[in-house]
Amino acid sequence: MKILAAGFQHETNTFADTPAGYGNFLNGEGFPALCRGEEVLRLANVNLPIGGFLRAMRDVTVLPVVWAAASPSGPVTADAYERITGEILDAARSARPDAVYLDLHGAMVTEHHDDGEGELLRRLRAVVGDDVPVVASLDLHANLSEEMFAMADALVAYRTYPHVDMAETGARAAGLLARAIAGERPRVAWRRVPFLIPINAGCTDLEPAGAVYRGLVEGMSFAAGFPAADIPDCGPVVFGYGGGLAEDVDRVHEQVTSREADWAIELPDPRQAVADAIRLSSDGPVVIADTQDNPGAGGTARTTGLLKALLAADPGPAAIGLFTDPQAAAAAHAAGVGATITVALGGEPAVPGDTPVHGRFTVEHLSDGRCRFDGPMMHGNVVDLGPSACLRSGSVQIGVTTGRTQVFDRNLFRMVGIEPERQRIVVVKSSVHFRGDFAPMAAHILVAKAPGVMAADPADLVWTRLPPQVRITPAGRPAGRGPERTS
């Protein structure tokens, strides 16, 4: 028994300007760097779907091909897509596997295909034939297509956001593949939800998302969709594999749609969020999510709205990060610790009015940018963000890196010399994933709506390709997302 295993992940924001090229996948940008062959087996101890799959299949011959991921951005270039999918397809032709496992995202758009995963599955099926089982694990934010369901024997998505169950999902995929190898090919039942769900509303630590995911029975998934891909298949889908699950799919679909208004959100602007954080910080550290500049959803980690609000308030010990600014990082390394440098920090040209912060900053710490994640998100992963630094202006410490990543883990701040637990306010360029490691230290959590590339509310985007029956934001009165007390 030979099982071919490969991974190719990208969450595509079609409203973002920066594409994902082959070099982005080589680096990984917060994910593991691209690896091939036996190198893939090293991911067995990382909290990723491929890791959970490999651990579950220790007693089976697994043929690892390639694993590649890049930080969310604009569409994947045709060159990167063809090179990585080509490796997978070539391996399938030569190895003639008995079964295939793919670690996919489910929301990949390329320069030449709206449905990156569906196209890969279609090509793979043409190579291996109809009798070879093909199973894939997916991100909770997958935008599923009819072709994905038609080409795969089974699909399974994460059930947590933050995605702390990635390895667990890979293990569930292994179970589905084992059943398919044994001859069990269950039928799929699936239904689309007729509105887009803002990403912050999908956090499974909160309601109504928590109740929906707690109600999923074995064999079921709820992909909430990635609401920044202007393609016909964008949006949430409830699905399941196995006899009798059609009624459960209908039940969960009704649970989601009957509370449509509860999925809508309303968020404070930067000044209000900082003012609220100052007021609440007597209880302990307050974490603010700079959700619209989340690199994990296509943000560039360069917008300055919350930085300007922090600098204006000068609130006492405060930190913000991580800014992707190679020029500022290089200037800090050239000057050395203790020096004062004059730079124009950040600023995103694609966001109207988002200008750099011009000023003098003290270099407090320098780093080579290498960091291991010890929190639950991708636990065990090691990233290399290149020359990095901590700059200070007044009472505010600013983490600056050369490479780009979402702030999953407190170690990313520690890497640049910032101790998050000692801060009054910590601003993270993230939407939800930060909660996995930051919630335990936070007295309160706020989510702020500063100008950025990733719209917190899909209604703020100009959509042209969604089917007319899909509402671009949940109908009803938005729920105010105020401070959340975590301890």
pLDDT at 150 over 60: yes
Percent of the chain at pLDDT > 90 equals 95
**Same structural domain for residues 287 and 397?**
yes
The residue from 262, 288, 309 where one domain ends is 262
**Same structural domain for residues 175 and 31?**
yes
Average pLDDT over residues 293-303: 95
Token pair 């910032």 is at which residue? 418
pLDDT at 102 over 90: yes
pLDDT at 43 over 60: yes
The residue from 213, 235, 262 where one domain ends is 262
The residue from 262, 286, 306 where one domain ends is 262
Helices (H), 182-293: 209-214, 245-257, 270-280
Average pLDDT over residues 33-39: 97
Considering the entire predicted model, what is its pTM?
0.93
**Same structural domain for residues 12 and 71?**
yes
**Same structural domain for residues 256 and 380?**
no
pLDDT band at 243 (very low <50, low <70, confident <90, very high): confident
Average pLDDT over residues 227-244: 95
Structural domain that includes position 52: 2-262
Decide if 355 is inside a domain: yes
pLDDT band at 99 (very low <50, low <70, confident <90, very high): very high
Edge to edge, the sheet with strand 188-192 lists: 188-192, 237-241, 220-223
Decide if 192 is inside a domain: yes
**Same structural domain for residues 173 and 226?**
yes
Q: pLDDT, tens digit, for every residue of 354-413?
A: 999 999 999 999 999 999 999 999 999 999 999 999 999 999 999 999 999 999 999 999
pLDDT band at 244 (very low <50, low <70, confident <90, very high): confident
Average pLDDT, the chain: 96
**Same structural domain for residues 274 and 243?**
no
**Same structural domain for residues 239 and 211?**
yes
Decide if 486 is inside a domain: no
Can you state the percent helix, strand and coil of the chain, rounding each to 5?
35, 25, 45
- The number of distinct structural domains making up the chain is 2
**Same structural domain for residues 232 and 371?**
no
**Same structural domain for residues 143 and 179?**
yes
**Same structural domain for residues 317 and 439?**
yes
Q: Angle CA(118)–CA(71)–CA(176) in degrees, nearest 5?
A: 45
Average pLDDT over residues 95-115: 98
pLDDT at 477 over 70: no
Percent of the chain at pLDDT > 70 equals 98
How far, rounded to the nearest angstrom, does the alpha carbon of residue 55 sit from its chain's CA centroid?
23
CATH number of the domain within which 34 lies = 3.40.50.2300
Half-sphere exposure of 23 (CA within 13 A, CB side): 4
**Same structural domain for residues 236 and 251?**
yes
